[in-house]
Amino acid sequence: MFSKNHAAEPSGKTIETIIGPSVKVEGDFKGEGDLVIEGTLVGTLQTKNNLKIGQNALVEASIRANNAFISGKVKGNISVKGKIEITGTAIILGNIKAQIISIESGALIKGDLDMPVGNIAVAGTKVEERPEDLKEENK
């Protein structure tokens, strides 16, 4: 996924699309590759790969991505298949759904966090079923 200081993935792939700081996009944005937003996007946003929203970016959209790194402002729901990293400068007004959620101190979030937990069934605060690897550790 994106690192804070590089414009390439660890695998060496480069970013496919950049929406620069002076650019405003309105409408439905759909892509296949990595996407970096430093400007403004209003509408819907979907990419099959990674998404980075820069510190000064403003996104008013429902978002779907493989992984996401959020440093700017987002107004809308975010659905990520893998991991979402939220930095201390992020402001998110909307629900977040991801397998892994990382939130840095200082981030502001107003919405629900949803992390699918596989075969762990949660009723109230009691875990009713645990994955096999946790059962093995408790023996």
pLDDT digits (tens, 9 = 90+) for 95-136: 999 999 999 999 999 999 999 876 655 555 555 554 554 544
Structurally, the chain folds into a number of domains equal to: 1
Report the percent of the chain where pLDDT is more than 70: 74
Helix (H) or strand (E) holding 19: strand 17-19
Output the CA–CA distances (angstroms, integers) from residue 66 to 49, 108, 125, 130, in the order listed: 5, 22, 29, 26
For residue 50, is it within any domain? yes
For residue 64, is it within any domain? yes
For residue 3, is it within any domain? no
For residue 59, is it within any domain? yes
Query: Average pLDDT of 70-80?
Result: 98
Query: Is the overall model pTM greater than 0.85, yes or no?
Result: no
Helix (H, G, I), strand (E, B) or coil at 63: strand
H-helix segments, the chain: 132-137
Q: What is the pLDDT of residue 134?
A: 52
For residue 4, is it within any domain? no
Q: What is the pLDDT of residue 116?
A: 84
Q: Which amino acid type is present at position 3?
A: S
Query: Average pLDDT of 54-81?
Result: 97
Q: Which residues constitute the domain of residue 93? A: 17-137
For residue 9, is it within any domain? no
